[in-house]
Amino acid sequence: MKTFTKTTFKTLVFFLFMLLTATGVFAQETSYSVKDHYTKAEYRIPMRDGVKLYTIVYTPKDTTQNYPFLIWRTPYSCGPYGPGKFRHLPVDLAKEKFIFVYQDVRGRFMSGGKFVNMRPYIPHKKGKQTDESSDAWDTIDWLIKHIKHNNGKAGMFGISYPGFYAAMACIDAHPALKAVSPQAPISNWFVDDDMHHHGALSLQMTINFFSVFGIKRDSLIRHWPHPIPRVSPDAYNFFMSLEPLPNVDKKYLHHQIAFWETIKRHPNYDAFWQKRNTLPYFKNIKPALLFVGGWYDSEDFYGTLHTFQSVEHNSPQTKNMIVIGPWPHGWWARGADSRLGDISFGSKTGDYFRRQIQLRFFKYYLKGEGSFPEPKARMFNTGINRWRSFDQWPPKNVKQENLWLEAGHGLTFGKPVKSKTVEYQYVSDPHKPVPYTAHVMDSRTFYYHPYMDEDQRFAARRPDVLVFETRPLQKAVTLAGPMLADLYVSTTGTDADWVVKVIDVYPDSAANPRPNPTHAKMGGYEMLVRGDILRGKYRNNPEKPEPFIPGKVTEIKLPLQDILHTFKKGHRIMVQIQNSWFPFFDINPQTFTNIYKARPADFVKATQRVWFSNQYPSKIELGVLP
């Protein structure tokens, strides 16, 4: 048996902190006692194939009326298990009295069966075939028939992986399922969720997550298994030691993580990943939906937006709504969340969401109580810090504009300035990748949350980062909806990653905030607003990678996700372009190869060029809201 060391304990505690953050338990008021108001019972609910799923039910002690179910299906443990041990419930919902149901999904913790990561949906199931949609259906059916004092209605919610399970329950939904809130749901692990962004591996998050989550379960368990221990005071240096990626097993995982072994066998967007794309299946959806996400969610913002859009397109009759606030992954479920890093949002946005949106949504659709204001999209406008409502998303009155890259490192709206062909170049060295944050982190850190709006001056000063910016804006400019970086590039290598960041540059005269807990200096602050990465070999088709021809000018298109941000008068809009974002993403060797079989000799310096002219019209496509 492995020794449970102090280092192992610290790693597990940190991992559990991240998961508990996602479940919202830290929103619990210490003065509210679940034990005083709820009765706990534990069941093994049979599925259609005979597998039993461990389920814990919290029923209000007041049995003078009937209540709807609120269900959370999770791979992260439905515990604590056993009599007298009570889970923290989301206090705003708990005070209004629902029957709370927490369930270990198939193959996790105390549930039987085999666990499959992002278990694919099976259309037209026959006999005893199961998927997450059928497991949700069977669970609800059993609850309605066996739990006393229910009103015949069920709701589901969940964040991240539990958000995936909530979303899948909407497909072929049980008739009793009336309201579902998929929050940061996973939708595609290769395109732009969690594991990859446009083919680039999310190295730091993937390795840290699966070094705990991916440990094999040999039997039913009530506690997290021992994680693979590791400690390093510097994540950048630690993950550099795992490059090339064959070192991940040689130096750390040692072939102990089954899903990492699977990832290595599927370097491209093949049938394995395609089967885990949930987006084609949201048709004829019956429950009311409330999608929730955060502008600063670096994991599953894609899933939130695109699952919402899939329902809009494939199931137009569905009551389908979306809320996006100024939050990193899952932060809307905990605390007040009035700031992120150096940036203040001016109000308690988390409290507002939980009390004025989520609570009212479930009360209205499951209890028939109160009213629920139902704009299609309720979005927090960063930059000016206010909530806005829209009857569609993206807003219909958005004007499509281009922001052109110009000579002299300029950015220009409207028609591009006519010029001869110009290119800016720099040398990208895979042995000295551009960090994604200026902060030094412990190697166990999943990610550094404030990097999503962090001051980018540390990157702008590097010689391997190109910078373009507008003149000071003569009036405020609000960008809304999706953005696309359409660039003409060339490389002396045969592959390259391309990172594009859109940044709000504060004027030198900007005042420091009050209060100022981070001691931020806002004069000249370069606030990251949106950014993403493209593995260049997938520029035309994620299924069929193709090399760059050295020196040949090539068009690449990188989606930058949606935005609702106001650049105030006197601010500048900046674009930074670089070829690495480490260790959030792994290092491209700049040689066309299978990244999981890359050798040290494949990692070479390359001269990268960005071209712009009438012939090569490099630009950022975006929407401007009047």
pLDDT in tens, 210-225: 999 999 999 999 999 9
pLDDT computed for residue 456 by the predictor: 98
Number of helical H runs and strand E runs in the chain: 14, 25
Instruction: Establish whether the linkage from the previous residue to 80 is cis, with ω within 30° of 0.
Output: yes
- CA angle 431/437/443 to nearest 5° reads 75
pTM for this entry: 0.95
Nearest to 383 by CA among 295, 483, 485, 292: 295
- Tell me which DSSP letter residue 247 carries: H
Torsion angles phi and psi, residue 131, rounded to 5: -150, -170
Q: Partners of 622 in the beta sheet?
A: 401
Cα-to-chain-centroid distance, residue 479: 21
Sorted by where each starts, the structural domains of the chain and their CATH numbers stand as 34-183+278-337+346-381 (3.40.50.1820), 399-625 (2.60.120.260)
Burial label, 514 (beta-carbon count in 10 A; 0-12, 13-18, 19+): exposed
Which residues of the chain have a pLDDT value below 50?
1-18, 20-26
Those residues with Cβ within 8 angstroms of residue 41's Cβ, 6 or more apart along the chain or in another chain:
56, 57, 59
pLDDT computed for residue 5 by the predictor: 44
- CA angle 164/166/168 to nearest 5° reads 70
pLDDT computed for residue 447 by the predictor: 73
pLDDT computed for residue 9 by the predictor: 40
- CA angle 119/123/128 to nearest 5° reads 75
What mean pLDDT value characterizes the chain? Answer: 94
pLDDT computed for residue 30 by the predictor: 63
Those residues with Cβ within 8 angstroms of residue 563's Cβ, 6 or more apart along the chain or in another chain:
295, 479, 480, 481, 482, 483, 502, 529, 530, 622
Residue 577 DSSP SS3: strand
